[in-house]
Amino acid sequence: MRVLVIHGPNLQLLGTREPEIYGRTTLQAIDGRLRALGRALGAFVECRQSNHEGEIVTWIGAAPGQFDGLILNPAAYTHTSVAIRDALAAVGLPAVEVHLSNVHRREAFRRRSLVAPVVLGTVSGLGALGYELALVGLLAHLRGQAVADVFGGLAGDGENSGAAGGFGKSGGENPALKAPELGEKNR
């Protein structure tokens, strides 16, 4: 599986931009965690960021044949970009919309997403963790699996054979359930 993650405008400023709203985790750390989680779950994750609507539209349009699914934080374009919405609808790839903050607890204009009607779902308000949850959910959808099976089954449940070598039956340690290392090689 190959997943393209697209970060929209101003997200290169994460960690310093309004940390009381967006948190202190940098974009580089989010990308490193996504790549590490993807590797642990048998998926390739490519992360890109742009402040330019046209570039984001171009990336979405070029994704079919290169990627199996998309994770997108359109940021401010969530509320304004018919072009991004139409690109997502046109390519038809499964996609998950992510927002670091809970957009429904913010200004009224932020509560309307032009993207939401053309994506599988939206993860909002869980900070940087939302990206990881979006990846797990997208992989489960793409593979036609339950979330537990994306991780190879739940430890000790004795029922799930799991996609990662029968973790549920073996009772062994599943490396996909460990927190990813964030060394420089993953950034």
Strands 44-49 and 121-124: unpaired
Q: How far apart are CA 23 and CA 102, in angstroms?
A: 12
Strands 2-7 and 69-73: parallel
Q: How far apart are CA 25 and CA 41, in angstroms?
A: 22
Q: Give me the catalytic one of 22, 77, 131, 141.
A: 22
- Tell me if 79 is assigned to a ligand binding site: yes
- Tell me if 104 is assigned to a ligand binding site: no
- Tell me if 102 is assigned to a ligand binding site: no
Q: How far apart are CA 117 and CA 101, in angstroms?
A: 19
Tell the residue number behind the tokens 């990206």, with chain if given.
Answer: 131
Whether 7 is catalytic is no
Q: How far apart are CA 28 and CA 110, in angstroms?
A: 25
- Tell me if 142 is assigned to a ligand binding site: no
With left for phi above 0 and alpha for psi between -120 and 50, is residue 80 left, alpha or beta?
alpha
Whether 77 is catalytic is no
Q: Give me the catalytic one of 7, 77, 99, 131.
A: 99
Alpha helices in 144-176 (DSSP H): 147-150, 167-170
Binding region for substrate: 73, 79, 86, 100-101, 110
In the annotated binding site, the residues are 73, 79, 86, 100-101, 110
- Kindly list the catalytic residues: 22, 99
